[in-house]
Amino acid sequence: MARIRLDIPEGLPFVTEVTVRVGDLNYGNHLGNDALLGLLHEARLQFLASLGWSEMDVGGQASIMADAAIVYKSQGRRGDRLRIEVGAGDLTGSGFDVLYRVSQADTGVLVALAKTALVLFDYAQGRPVRLSDDVRARLEGLSA
């Protein structure tokens, strides 16, 4: 079975830390994939907020998630402090990837690499909209 590959660079421009909670664990007693996606969502919200945006207002346009991919490198356990680095990449006509590097805050051991694709979206019309020049310029400054 072929595994997906993500090439996420080191040194992404935004950093936040979260602690793995008991509710984030799965039957294997480690960080569950659903919980990690939720932690990435929180990191993405903080990243967008650092730019003065939200998921419903990226430079005046709403966004919708088009895809998500996670590649696990090691396990996360209850109480672990995770460092999540976030940046932007692969800007297209109507969207961009949000890139993530998740590592143990104390040791630097890589836990996961991930990316989510956001598409700017007009919910009233039910269709994607183009990235504005301003949004593109700001994201290019944060691209890997």
Mean confidence (pLDDT) of the chain: 96
Return the CATH fold of 14-140.
Thiol Ester Dehydrase; Chain A (3.10.129)
β-strands 127-128, 81-89 pairing: unpaired
Residue with tokens 């183009």: 130
pTM: 0.95
Q: What are the tens digits of pLDDT across the range 97-121?
A: 999 999 999 999 999 999 999 999 9
Which of 116, 120, 52, 59 has its CA nearest to residue 84? 116
Q: What are the tens digits of pLDDT across the range 118-138?
A: 999 999 999 999 999 999 999
Cβ count near 117 (within 10 Å): 18
- Give the model's pLDDT for residue 140: 92
What are the sequence ranges of the domains in the chain?
A: 14-140
Instruction: Give the mean pLDDT of 73-94.
Output: 97
